[in-house]
Amino acid sequence: MLRVENVKKSFDGELILKNIRFTVNKNEVVALIGPSGSGKSTMLRSLVHLETIDDGEIYIDGEYMVKNGKYGKPQQIRNIQRKLGMVFQHFNLFPHLTVRKNLELAPKLAKLDTDEAISQRSEQLLEKVGLGNRMDAYPSKLSGGQKQRVAIARALMMKPKLMLFDEPTSALDPELTGEVLSVMKELAAEQMTMVVVTHEMAFAKEVADRIIFMDRGEIVEEGTPDEIFQNPQNERTKAFLKRM
């Protein structure tokens, strides 16, 4: 579903992604963990082309977004972006739109379906994330956990093939993280392909099929949750997990 090869990216002359290479298979949940500043968000943002990489390759669902450091045509990139759903740490909802309109804006602009089908889908997805009764509320009236559940439902509206989560619970009070993690667990149980940048080690252990540990712009180690959490091989992985 996703293949990343030899990705390099600098900010202000400093190499932030050094030579990143990993794959994510269909129906797989991959947790990307690592210390603050290791490049996890930059990697994830590069997958949706919110950041531009300097070199390397990104293939999504068999199509390339960038090959040998060269990006495809704008239409090709847009086609790939439409296969991706992204959920950010700070929700990024449109404050001037109701919950329902937050969900319906992108699919209507993209003419994904008839207005009626789009409206039915937004109702179904809001029910699914437990917010069927808040469709007409504005984001400012919602708790952080509710906002993040709206953001997940909104990302699902476009029927993504791959969902990307960038620290989806880091901005939440601890008592609100559970409601967001349980929506993500449900998605994982439904075989959604997911990449999750997270500091929630318990969640990564329980839900991820594979863990990728990044440090200082490199993938240091990857493996199953058992391999990484019970028997890490690399000293940097061990030191990180000890601190968590």
Ligand X SMILES: Nc1ncnc2c1ncn2[C@@H]1O[C@H](COP(=O)(O)OP(=O)(O)OP(=O)(O)O)[C@@H](O)[C@H]1O
Which residues in this chain contact ligand X in the complex, by CB under 6 A? 11-12, 16, 34, 36-42
Measured from the CB of residue 8, what is the shortest distance to ligand X in angstroms?
A: 13
Q: How far apart are alpha carbons 70 and 184 in whole angstroms?
A: 34
Nearer to ligand X, 104 or 221 (CB): 221
Nearer to ligand X, 192 or 197 (CB): 197
Residue 149: phi and psi, rounded to 5, are -65, -35
Choice between 42 and 177, CB closer to ligand X: 42
| Nearer of residues 38 and 169 to ligand X, judged by Cβ | 38
Sheet holding 162-166, edge to edge: 84-87, 162-166, 193-197, 29-33, 210-215, 218-223
Q: How far is the CB of 50 from ligand X (least distance, A)?
A: 10
- State the Cα angle at 122 between 26 and 143, rounded to 5°: 95
In the bound complex, what is the minimum distance in angstroms from residue 12's beta carbon to ligand X? 6
Count of residues for the chain? 244
Specify the DSSP element, H or E, that contains 181: helix 174-189
Indicate the residue type of 64.
Y
Minimum distance, C-beta of residue 208 to ligand X, in the bound complex (Å) = 17
